[in-house]
Structure 1
Amino acid sequence: MNRDVIISCAVTGSGDTTRRSEHVPVTPEQIAASALDAASAGAAIVHCHVRDLESGKGIRTVALYQEVVERIREKNDEVIINLTAGMGGDLNVGPDDDPMSWQPGTDLVGGLERLAHVEAIRPDICSMDCGSLNFGDDNEVYVSTPSMLRIMAARVRELGVRPELEVFDTGNLWFAETMIAEGLIDAPYWIQLCLSIPYGTPLDIGILQAMVNRLPDEAEFTSFGLGAMQMPMVTQSVMLGG
């Protein structure tokens, strides 16, 4: 039986990808244009980060988010806008003999401050990363504690914004289930299964199937893989009901 499939396009993330491709959008004008192109191509949802105009690195400046959303809405009032609420969790730990000397790139704030642009804009959706994670091979840790997440979930619910629960490993999924059980997240639940990001969940169809099997009732899910692994993950996601 045929069924409708929702296409969600992540226009640009926060990773250091601008040095890899000149086609990664950086300015609000470029990000909005890419979002509009994605919507024209069939995406129902566009997921947006913003970037520093000089370095191209991900930041959380409210005015840049506002400009992106305004530019999208000038030309399209139907596409669903999903803004990240994951910025503000970066912790670059110091060297082994001085781990408390936090290094450049650290941007660590509380849960409510991570929602400053969500408060100002009230997008349709905002993403919440459901746990802490070692990011890559160096000393970078993404920090998202249970206390922070509960505070964020409660406020997002008050604002009437739909949370997208970002799940990077099975522990993240466990905590997403916990927030649902505590009544912090309203049904239907929107869950994204994030694979192949070091060191969360490896790209493994068996693990993806196990995560799908754990999804709560009334949950819709999407999934992704990095780079060349994206299209295989889209295929598997659709085959598994996402």
Structure 2
Amino acid sequence: MLPKIIITCAVTGNITTRENHPGLPVTPEEIANSCLEAADAGAAIVHIHVRDPETGKPSMAFEHYKDVVERIRAKNSALILNLTTGPGGRYQPSDDNPAMAGPRTTLRRPELRVEHIAALKPEIATLDLNTMNSGNEVVINTPPNVKIMADIINAAGVKPELEVFDTGDIQLSHDLLKAGVLKSPPMYSIVTGIKYGFPSNPDVMATAARMLPRDAAWTGFGVGRMSFPMVVLSYLLGGHVRVGLEDNSYIAKGVLTKGNGELVERARDLLTKLGAEIAGSNEARKMLGLAT
């Protein structure tokens, strides 16, 4: 087990709605405030998606990312920012012609999926390695597109966090590391609980962790009711942890959480009761070798 554990808070995500949780942060001000609340509760890293402030729907608008980042940095310059690059990879075949995109398709050129990273230069940017079924659509991240995104992230001096959803994603990461597209030591998130990906159970997370490069830093987490069990499991297997409204809306069975701060507090409580020490943002920055 690691000497100190990094808690990441994923504050709003791309899928959760206010039907799932009425307090889901949507506007740039709400997202920034929720990030600061998570930091006060013990999160060293915040993982950020943005939303359309009028509709609450997922957004890729640069101005929303910029607004959130500036609000956070004005009040907490130490907090590590991890911006998503996941949106823009979804394909829905149309009913009439599956070769034509349906209305839920969000596919964009890979350069556009990382333009906010190049401009805002957060410490971390997620880099999804999965191509998989997602509901009635498909998420597509081809190796050539991943390379384009990785090159832009690397050129910005930002560390990619490799999001892996199945064993093939990990095998792809090894190929990209061997080719020099990704740099060592790498950083991973093992995502469990997404349908058609890794299930949330001990055997699977342990297998995924063993498949990672020996010098990798990694975070394991679960979606839905397995969020807190996966906090404990990731720690016991030698990983860091993640919680947040992106992954789970409940603090207990049938009880909605008050917000991201309470989710972080619960994770911190579980970890410290097991003997873990929690890393602050500056400690986490040194542990992960992030640019200062």
CA 1:236–1:2: 2 relative to 1, 3 Å: closer
Give the residue type in structure 2 aligned to 1:183.
Answer: G
Aligned residues: 239
- Within the candidate set 235, 239, 245, 1:238 is matched to 235
Give the residue type in structure 2 aligned to 1:106.
Answer: T
Residue 130 of structure 2 corresponds to 131
CA 1:28–1:225: 2 relative to 1, 3 Å: same
After TM superposition, give the deviation of residue 158 of structure 1 in Å.
Answer: 1.2
CA separation in 2, counterparts of 1:16 and 1:75? 26
Give the residue type in structure 1 aligned to 2:92.
Answer: N
Residue 163 of structure 1 corresponds to 160
Asked if 1 retains the 8 angstrom alpha-carbon contact of 2:82 and 2:125, the reply is: yes
> Is structure 2 residue 72 aligned with structure 1 residue 75?
no
> Is structure 2 residue 147 aligned with structure 1 residue 146?
no
The 3-state SS of whatever aligns with 1:108 is coil
Deviates more, 1:177-186 or 1:74-83: 177-186
Residue 50 of structure 2 corresponds to 50
Residue 116 of structure 1 corresponds to 115
Higher RCO structure (Cα 8 Å, ≥6 apart): 2
CA separation in 2, counterparts of 1:187 and 1:11? 28
After TM superposition, give the deviation of residue 54 of structure 1 in Å.
Answer: 2.5
CA separation in 2, counterparts of 1:198 and 1:211? 16
CA separation in 2, counterparts of 1:196 and 1:80? 25
CA separation in 2, counterparts of 1:106 and 1:98? 14
Residue 218 of structure 2 corresponds to 221
Asked if 1 retains the 8 angstrom alpha-carbon contact of 2:2 and 2:238, the reply is: no
CA separation in 2, counterparts of 1:55 and 1:199? 29
After TM superposition, give the deviation of residue 55 of structure 1 in Å.
Answer: 2.4
TM-score by length of 2: 0.79
Asked if 2 retains the 8 angstrom alpha-carbon contact of 1:13 and 1:48, the reply is: yes
CA separation in 1, counterparts of 2:57 and 2:5? 32
Residue 63 of structure 1 corresponds to 63
1:210-235 CA distances to partner (integer Å, 9 max, x unpaired)? 11111102101101111221110111
Deviates more, 1:31-40 or 1:12-21: 12-21
CA separation in 1, counterparts of 2:41 and 2:211? 32
- Identity, in percent, stands at 43
Residue 33 of structure 1 corresponds to 33
1:63-95 CA distances to partner (integer Å, 9 max, x unpaired)? 000000000001000010000011111111122
Deviates more, 1:107-116 or 1:32-41: 107-116
CA separation in 2, counterparts of 1:189 and 1:46? 19
After TM superposition, give the deviation of residue 98 of structure 1 in Å.
Answer: 2.4
1:6-58 CA distances to partner (integer Å, 9 max, x unpaired)? 11111111014222111110000000000000111111100000011222121
CA 1:205–1:26: 2 relative to 1, 3 Å: same
The 3-state SS of whatever aligns with 2:11 is strand
Give the residue type in structure 1 aligned to 2:110.
Answer: G
Residue 92 of structure 1 corresponds to 92
CA RMSD of aligned residues (A): 1.3
Residue 172 of structure 2 corresponds to 175
Residue 210 of structure 1 corresponds to 207
Asked if 2 retains the 8 angstrom alpha-carbon contact of 1:131 and 1:146, the reply is: no
CA separation in 2, counterparts of 1:77 and 1:157? 22
Structure 2 runs not aligned, ≥5 long: 240-292
CA separation in 2, counterparts of 1:227 and 1:8? 16
CA separation in 2, counterparts of 1:122 and 1:169? 28
The 3-state SS of whatever aligns with 1:107 is coil
Structure 1 runs not aligned, ≥5 long: none
Residue 186 of structure 1 corresponds to 183
After TM superposition, give the deviation of residue 198 of structure 1 in Å.
Answer: 1.4
